[in-house]
Amino acid sequence: AQSVTQPDIHITVSEGASLELRCNYSYGATPYLFWYVQSPGQGLQLLLKYFSGDTLVQGIKGFEAEFKRSQSSFNLRKPSVHWSDAAEYFCAVGAADSWGKLQFGAGTQVVVTP
């Protein structure tokens, strides 16, 4: 069965600084990987997803993520953070043999300071 670890529970970053959120997965074959963002009182919004091909994936809101098979990682990055990026971020993994069933990490809370 697949699993996801987000090592950082909470990250504080200054507005304009870069942001990197870590995600490590465990799965025997090639996983399908997702990053979602959840703002207070809102549902989850898909930022980006990786299925195959180019390991650097571009998403919405200026986010990108890089799939590194050798490190079992799918880290999310943004070069310059805006105050509106304050939210909780979830990494999720799906698998071809567990169709539609996503395993989510525990999330990373991002706080943006002026």
Going from the C-alpha of 67 to that of each of 52, 75, 83, 84, 100, the distances in angstroms are: 9, 7, 26, 25, 20
CB contact at 8 A, 109 and 11:
yes
Q: Supply the minimum distance, in Å, between the C-beta of residue 38 and another protein.
A: 8
At residue 62, the 3 state secondary structure works out as: helix
For another protein, the closer of residues 23 and 81 by Cβ is 23
Q: Supply the minimum distance, in Å, between the C-beta of residue 20 and another protein.
A: 19
Q: Provide the CA 82 distance to its chain's centre, in angstroms.
A: 17
Rounded to 5°, angle at Cα 100 from 67 and 59: 40
For another protein, the closer of residues 14 and 30 by Cβ is 30
For another protein, the binding residues (CB under 8 A) are 4, 32, 36, 41-46, 49, 51, 90, 92, 94-96, 98-102, 104-107
CB contact at 8 A, 1 and 101:
no
For another protein, the closer of residues 15 and 109 by Cβ is 109
Q: Supply the minimum distance, in Å, between the C-beta of residue 107 and another protein.
A: 6
Q: Supply the minimum distance, in Å, between the C-beta of residue 88 and another protein.
A: 9
For another protein, the closer of residues 17 and 69 by Cβ is 69
